Chain A
Amino acid sequence: AAGVIQSPRHLIKEKRETATLKCYPIPRHDTVYWYQQGPGQDPQFLISFYEKMQSDKGSIPDRFSAQQFSDYHSELNMSSLELGDSALYFCASSSQTGEVEQYFGPGTRLTVT
């Protein structure tokens, strides 16, 4: 079965640079979530989209923005990167009309130097 696809899998950036992470949800899933997991931490919710509209917002810094496109893929844009942004970024997708569980992509490991 198709899973959530995230790209790139690894990304190394310097401080103050920008980064764009991409997420392709499971086909027919209408909701995308972004989570950030720091080293040794639990995943923290950043932002979600339902049918291309922002549906909920968590602890997403103002330096970050995201959107969902007409093909349901989503992008997380991160600017003015800081050392503390180094983390594993997960995208998850679900269907609001079907199963409620979220299926996670493999994650993008961002390292800021």
Chain B
Amino acid sequence: AQKVTQAQTEISVVEKEDVTLDCVYETRDTTYYLFWYKQPPSGELVFLIRRNSFDEQNEISGRYSWNFQKSTSSFNFTITASQVVDSAVYFCALSEPDTGRRALTFGSGTRLQVQP
């Protein structure tokens, strides 16, 4: 069965610090998708990034970057030069479309507090 683990419950940083959010996943499928979503205090869930299981290329998008390593089943997310507006709960999620499970399995979330 699929499982997503976010070991960091809460992280507090000072503005302009870099912060990395960890995510470890379990799946038996060879084809799967990994996602990061942001949930600010207002409550909505905002899609941030997606990575396919067959593409381990790591990328940078603005202040966001991610490190996908199949060998360790990890999909870590880094925010560079954090800002107060980055304060939110961040969820890592997994879907396995080949087995019909397109629904997202979420981790328990990491609450990020960015202090001014």
Chain A contact residues, CB within 8 Å of chain B: 31, 33, 35, 41-45, 48, 55-56, 58, 88, 90, 92, 94, 96, 99-107, 109
Contact = CB atoms under 8 A, between A and B. Distances in A.
A45 B47 contact: no
Nearest to B43: A107
Nearest to A9: B43
A101 B97 CA distance: 11
Interface residues of B, number: 22
Contacts of A100: 33, 50, 95, 97, 102
Interface of B: 33, 35, 37, 43-47, 50, 91, 95, 97, 100-109
B47 A103 contact: yes
Given A100-B33, A100-B95, A101-B35, A43 B102 contact: no
A107 B44 CA distance: 7
A107 B37 CA distance: 15
B103 A48 contact: yes
Contacts of B37: 104
A61 B91 CA distance: 24
B47 A42 contact: no
Contacts of B102: 31, 33, 48, 55-56, 94, 96, 100
Contacts of B101: 56
B100 A42 contact: no
Contact of B104 (A43, A55, A99, A109): A43
A71 B104 CA distance: 24
A106 B46 CA distance: 9
17 contacts: A31-B102, A42-B91, A43-B104, A43-B106, A44-B106, A45-B104, A55-B102, A56-B102, A88-B43, A92-B45, A96-B102, A100-B33, A100-B95, A100-B102, A102-B47, A107-B45, A109-B43
